[in-house]
Each structure stands twice: as C-alpha cells, then as structure tokens.
Structure 1
Amino acid sequence: MKRLVTCLFVLSLVACEHPASRPSTSEEQSSDMVEEMDINIIADKFIENMFVSSPEMSTFYQAENADNVNLADISPAGIQAKQDAQDRLYRALVAINTGQLNKNDFVTYQLLKTELEGEINTRVCKRHLWSNNHLDAFFTWYQYIGQTQPVGDDTSRADALMRWSKIPAYIKNDMLNNRKGLNTGYALPRPVVKRVIGQMQQLLTMPIEDTPFYLPALRDDNPEFQQKMRAEIENNIMPVLKKYLTFMQQEYLPQARPNLSIAAIPNGAECYNAMLSAATTLSNTPAEIFAWGEESLAERETMIKSLGKKLYGTADLPAIYEAFGKDPTNYYKNKEELLAEAQAAIDRAKEKSRDYFNLFPKSDVILKPISDLEKETGYSRYLAASDDGSRPATYVQATYPAHKKIKGEVESVAFHETYPGHHLQIAISRELLVSHPVTKYLGNSGFSEGWARYTETLADEIGLYSSDNHRIAMYKGLPTGMVVDPGIHFKNWSRDEAINYVLSKQSSFSKEEAERYVDRIAVWPGQMTTYGVGERFFINLRKQAEARLGDAFDIKEFHDVCLQNGTVPLDFVVAEVNEYLQQKAN
C-alpha cells in the first residue's frame, strides 16, 4: 500500500542513456482503436482509479470525498482490475498528440507516462506475492491510516468501524498472496522474514491501546466507539494476525530463500532492470550505476581526507575515522537532546535556504519522533501534508539508540528531509498547482531522493553545518547504495559480502545498522541507488550550467528551473534546464 519516480543537454551522467521501451500491457494495444482524449480527462481518471484501487490513500491525503470505508482489493480479481484500468489509461495517453499540448499539460503527460510505464514494466516482479516484508507489511501502514481516519462524529465512527471490520479479510488475502508467492518461487529472504516475524510478535503481545490499529479510538473520546474498536481488534483482527504469524513461522521461514538477490525469483533480472528504471527514471544498466557508485564514493572520500587533514592532521581515512569515532562531542546524551538539535537544524535551514531559492514553500514542516513500533527498525522520513491542510507536513526522526546517533548525521538527514531537501521540493510541487492536480500524487525517487541528497552538500555550501566535524559526518554518508544495490541484485553478492562492504565504507555503522541497510535493499530493489544517482545528476547538471553561463549563472534561477515542474522524470529536467540556458544566452 505504501507504494506511495532528453539528451538535449548532454550530461556525462546520461550520455549513454537510451529511450525507455514502450511497455506491453495485458490487453492488445492498437492506437487506431483508441480515440484521443484530453490529457486532463486522463489525469482525472488516473486520480479516480488510484483512489478506487487504494481507498486508504484518499484517506491519508484527506482528499475531497475520500473513501473512508473501504480497503484496497488485493485479491487476484482486484489486482487484475487495477492493471486493466492502468492499461486503458496508458493506451489513451500514448494516443495523444504531444505536439499540441501546452507546457503545463506536457508536464502532466510526462508524469503520467513515467508512472504508468513504471507500474506496467514492474508487473514482472509480482510484488504482491512477496509483500509481507518489514518495510511494506500491511500493519506498517495502519499507523498512518489510524492517524488520518476521520473520527469525532457518529458518521465518521461508523465509517471507521466498517473499515476496520474489513481488515481481517485484507489480512487473509495478503496471506494467500504470500503463500502463493512462497509456492511459486517468490519467497522473501530469510533475514527479512525473521524481521517480520519479530514485528508480528510485538503487535500480538503489546497492549491493544498501543497498537496502530487502535489509533482512531485514541483520537475520539466516545467510550462506546472505543469499546467497539477494541472488540473489533481483539476478536477479529488479532486472531487472523496470529494465524498469519503461525504461517510465517511454520511454513514460510523454513522455505525462505537464503540469498538476498532478486535474481533468485522468476524473471529476476528483468524485474531488477524494471525496478531500477522505475526508481531512477533512467535506462542505465546496473553495471553503469555500479561504476558511478565507485566514482562517487572516491569523490566523497577525497573531501573527507581534506577535512581530516585540517582537523586531525592526517589524510589517512582509517585514522580520520578512528579520531572521529572517539570524539564524545559527536554523540548525543539522550533522545531529548537529539530532538532539540534536530529542530534547531531545521529552523536554521529554513531561514538560510531563502538565499538560494526564489520559490519557497508557504507550508511548514513539524518534527515528530518515530513511533515505538518502528523505533528499532524504522528510518527517519518525510510525510507530505494532507490535501486539505489539516495535517501538516511531518519529519519523522529516528531516535534509537540516541547515545549512538552522530550529530552531524542527524543534521544532514534533517536537511535532506526538510529544508532545502524533501519538504522544500515537495511542498513547492504541491503548492504550485500549475499543472493538473495529479502532479501532487506523482513523482519518482530519482528526482526526489536525488534532490534531497544534492541538498546535503548544498547545505555545506550554505553554511548550515555546526562544525567541521559535522561536515565530515555528512561526507562520511557515502552513496554506498549505488554499489551495494546492484552488488546484491546484479552481481549476486551474499548478505555477508554486502554487510562487510557497507561496514568497510560506512565507518559509523554498527553491524546491526549495516544489516538493516542491506535488508532494506533486499526488499526495495533499485530504490537505494536513487540517492546517489540523483545527486550525481543534479551536481553534473549544475556544473554544466555554471560552465555555460559563467558570471551570469544565478543559483536561485537554476534551482527554480529544477523545481518548478514538480517531481518530474530526470530527462525532463535536462530539457527544462537546456531551454532556460538557451533563453539566458539569448
């Protein structure tokens, strides 16, 4: 459910890129059988289909006329219906004469095309057959639905209880899907299964009031509603969850695959290429991305050596890492200090980032600590505001274990997730609303994570880091995902090989953190490459613009051109910057 990604201006990053192939769909595609539709009608239909197939998303976004009663239909018939709807939209989309579209409509077209092609091309992966992992398991989503499910009046309470009464059937379908996956070669890796089992055990043993399923009742003071919600969870949801746990322990775990690589599932290589392309919006090969990763790591290590020479009198990386690790001032005393300094970093970034952007979000972002359920397994992340403005944008800060969290890393992640990273970029795209409203819901990891990663080093340029120690901490966050991700899924590294590589490069990682990092890559193939690939993209794009414009280069204008159309495919950003440079030259 979470799955909430042109060579006109030649960049070294995309010089070898080839146009993405048009995907085949489950129905015959024939352009002469498709009547050309208006792009905005197609976009309207896309939103409608999205909320029909995933009603929970309409609740999360608090969309107008949201469906607060139903749940996604993940039965075979429901999945097929969703795919058929996507196919119909894709045929209508590619029948459009793009030469007749205005600029705003062309942005809508590009976003829809990228999204639909990604969805269609990654069907080969059959993700619904290996969905019960520690990051995407159905229960992880209810902490967000529970926080946004309307309550407070009789109608809302009735809707909530009706939706909650459908959760057991959803869980049963999810278990059936994963049982089918287990029996047809789509088993999850054993370490991931163990993590999920641990989460399920925690859910079943914690007090009902502490589970994500009970969240709507915590937001409503009606005793009868609270009693009914508790009864639904105890009598119907938990028994089915217990059966699912038994299945995972007794049937799934013994047959879980020993290796992490997605190559182990049917059509695994094709699946990885599709997921990699969908995530980055580029068509570069795993081998190319692996090579870029090694180059990018070397560049960051050069910066670390320079700072190490200044601070510790040595350019030897192991010596720098040792001196850094032994400095007690690099660590927090407790969770409260961590949260206070994270908030201070956000406030500082919000103020100073204005000097680098003309476009700036009107909405703010609030800081919240990660939930107890995810405390030991979750990551810091950004959640966009609701459509109606009732729920602000939120930065969820990981805090465990606080005394081992490195101050400079917390600062850089705060900049990555808020200003000038995710919040600035995503809030701008949602507030501009120049193109169709569908642009609020579409994006790609290559742009969004690449932008956020670019802004970690931009924050250094702005002067946001508190000390040179904190700057070292940021540069120590090497883009190992560009190497480890294809290392696992393309080069078939073992889990131990991947963990050892991470530990050899990410000096601040504990073995537990390296294991979590590697297991994340195992269940989200391609996604971890997007940080480094996108960062490399924006850095190279800026260098090209600076070289071409010289003294006429304006950093605010460059950033605005990159952000003004929302989270678009990266090749479209190239075209936009190329057009801007031509206009500037004229």
Structure 2
Amino acid sequence: MLLSRVTLAIGLALAAPACATPVSDIADDYLAALLIRYPEQAQQSGLVTPAADRFFDASPAALTVWQRREDSWRGVLDRVDVDKLTGADRITYGFLRQDLDNSVRTRICRQELWPVEQMSGWAASYPDLAAAEPVGTPANRARALRRWATFPDYLQAEIINLKAGLAAGYSTPRHNVELVIAQIDGLLAGPVDKSPMYAPAATDPDPAFRAAWTALLTDKLNPAMRDYRDWLAANYLPKARTSFGVLA
C-alpha cells in the first residue's frame, strides 16, 4: 500500500497540467499530504518531503485524521463531472479515484493492527533508510538526529497497535513474527559501529556528528529495538496465529 502511494505521488507529479484546475488542486493537496504522511517512502523514492525529520505517525489518532481527510477528498471527487474532464485532468482523476477507493476498501483489513512484516516492516526497510539518510552538512546532520531521536516513539506506537490488534483478534502469522525477531537480533548483534543503523555516521566525516550518532544509537535506538524485540518474543509470539490465511 505504501509503495503504491509513492508510485501514485510520482504519477500525479507527471500528470500535472500546465495550469491549475479544480482536479489538479485536489491532486496537489493530496500529494502534499502523502509526502507528509509517508516521509520514509517519499525519501527512499527520491521525493522531497517537508517531514524528513520524522517518521510515519503510526498512532491511532493520526490514522483517524488521515482517514477523515481521505473521505473528504473522495467527497470532492464525487462532485466532479467526470464526463467533462479531458487530458491530464482525466488521468489525474483516475489516479486519485483508484487510490482513495482502494484505501477505503482495505480499511476492513485493519492492517495497522498487525504490522509485523518481515518483507516491508521497519526491521527490513529501515536499515536501507539509515543508509540513505542525507548527511554531510550541518542542516542534514541536525535533521537526521531529530528524525532518529523519534524512532523509539514510533516503535512504542507499533506496540500499542499490536496490543489493540490482539485484543480485537488480529495477529501476524507466528512464523512471520519469528522472522522479524531474527531480523532485529541481526540489527542488535555486534558492536555499534558495525550496526546497519550506524550508516549515517559511517558516511559522514564529522567527528561531532559521529559521536552524537553513536550516543543516539547506544542510548536510545538499540534499547528501543531490544525492548520491541523482547515484547514480541514474550507477549506477541505466543498469541500469534499459526496459520497464514488472512481469515484464520
């Protein structure tokens, strides 16, 4: 879902008409919101996001706000006379309608309540994000430190969602949870300066930044990842479903 929305953002940018229209105004608003809602995916795709100093807000409150905005955009699209659209507006309308409708249809899956994922979850994708983190200038270094200082909050939000998921009968298959635990073990193995999460400091020659990043990784990031891993092993894994079917 996240990757498709980044693809959509690129498509909207390419389909934008030379002059503003009501449909392009909706697209501009939606694109700007996507870049803020999904800053990691935007950055990894080479898109500029004003939210580069933070992570995806996984809190239930943020999800509620986002879904209300989706409903509002769909309401605006419902009032558009599609038969009168031509050229770029018609293409843009199609992008918007498909993405927003798909998002609403998948709400029933409650994916936010079982986000433990060995292919696209944070333990698999955030090492790449760390490796691609822009550094090399005072502004970039400060932004990187601000962003990653909030990573423990992101993990705590995931735990809150996972607890709510278990209470509501949603869980990731047990085998997938085991794979994610193994991924986190790999991130925590070895000295700090060999960690995949050390990448921003490894590519920046500034001694002060390296020291600050080492302290952040040692004092905040690694403990937060370990707490998340231990919570999965002790509290989530025993209750995770043993079958792979979505309806299990």
TM category (shorter chain) comes to 0.7 to 0.9
Q: Which has the larger radius of gyration?
A: 1
Query: 2:213 — aligned with what?
Result: 229
Look up the equivalent residue of 2:99 and give its one-letter code: E
What's 2:55 paired with? 71
The structure 1 residue matched to 2:236, chosen from 224, 238, 252, is 252
Pairwise CA distance, 1:248: 1.1
**What is the distance in 1 between the residues matched to 2:222 and 2:128?**
19
Q: Which residue of 1 aligns with 2:69?
A: 85
Provide the identity percentage.
28
Alignment map for 1:140-539 (pairs within 5 Å) = 140-264=124-248
Deviations 1:69-122 (A, max 9, x none): 122111111111111111111111121111111122111111111111111110
| Residue 43 of structure 2 corresponds to residue 59 of structure 1 | yes
Which secondary structure state, in structure 2, belongs to the residue aligned with residue 257 of structure 1?
A: coil
Q: TM-score, normalised by structure 2?
A: 0.87
For residues 101 and 149 of structure 1, the distance between their equivalents in structure 2, rounded to whole angstroms, comes to: 41
Q: Aligned pair count?
A: 232
For the Cα contact (< 8 Å) 1:62–1:148, is it kept in 2?
A: no
In structure 2, relative to structure 1, the CA distance for the partners of 1:84 and 1:210 (3 Å cut) is farther
For the residue of structure 2 that corresponds to 1:136, the secondary structure is coil
Change (3 A) 1:206 1:137: farther
Q: Do 1:68 and 1:149's aligned partners in 2 also have CA atoms closer than 8 Å? A: no
Which residue identity lines up with residue 260 of structure 1 in the other structure? F
Alignment deviations for residues 297-320 of structure 1 (CA, whole Å, 9 cap, x no partner): xxxxxxxxxxxxxxxxxxxxxxxx
* Contact 2:192-2:214 within 8 A present in 1 as well: yes
| 1:215-265 deviations in Å (ceiling 9; x for gaps) | 22222111111111111111111111111111111111111111111012x
Distance apart, 1:147 and its partner CA: 3.2
AA matched with 1:91: G
Distance 2:235 2:133 in 1: 34
How big is each residue's C-alpha offset from its partner over 1:158-203, in whole Å with a ceiling of 9 and x where there is no partner?
0000001000101111111112212221111111111111111111
User: 2:168, 2:64 → 1: CA distance?
Assistant: 18
Structure 1 counterpart SS, 2:80: coil
Q: Which whole-Å CA distance do the structure 1 matches of 2:49 and 2:231 have between them?
A: 38
Q: SS state of the match for residue 244, structure 2? A: coil
Contact 2:2 2:38 in 1 (8 A): no
How far apart, in 1, do the equivalents of 2:132 and 2:183 lie?
22
Going by fraction, where is helix more abundant, 1 or 2?
A: 2
Name which of 91, 97, 103 aligns with 1:107. Answer: 91
Distance 1:201 1:143 in 2: 13
Q: Which residue is 2:2 aligned to?
A: 3
What per-residue deviation string (whole Å, max 9, x for no partner) do you get for residues 445-475 of structure 1? xxxxxxxxxxxxxxxxxxxxxxxxxxxxxxx
Query: 1:130, 1:50 → 2: CA distance?
Result: 22
In structure 2, the CA distance between the partners of 1:154 and 1:63, relative to structure 1 (3 Å rule), is same
For the aligned residue pairs, the C-alpha RMSD in angstroms reads 1.7
Gaps of 5+ in 1: 6-36, 265-586
CA distance in 2, matches of 1:139, 1:124: 25
Between the aligned partners of 1:189 and 1:84, the Cα distance in structure 2 is: 30
Verify the 8 A CA contact 2:123 2:180 in the aligned structure 1. Answer: no
Where does residue 94 of structure 1 map in the other structure? 78
The match for 1:546 is none
- In 2, the alpha carbon distance for the partners of 1:63 and 1:248 equals 33
Distance between the aligned counterparts of 1:209 and 1:97, measured in 2?
A: 58
The DSSP-based 3-state class of the residue aligned with 1:150 is: coil
| Paired AA for residue 261 in structure 1 | G
Taking the aligned partners of 1:252 and 1:50, their CA distance within structure 2 comes to 31
Looking at structure 2, the residues matched to 178 and 224 of structure 1 have their Cα atoms a distance apart, in angstroms, of 37
Question: In structure 1, what residue type is equivalent to 2:30?
Answer: F
Deviation digits for residues 427-457 of structure 1 (CA, Å, limit 9, x no counterpart): xxxxxxxxxxxxxxxxxxxxxxxxxxxxxxx
Paired residues of 1:142 and 1:212 also in contact (CA < 8 A): no
Distance 1:183 1:196 in 2: 21
Q: Secondary structure at the match of 2:54?
A: coil
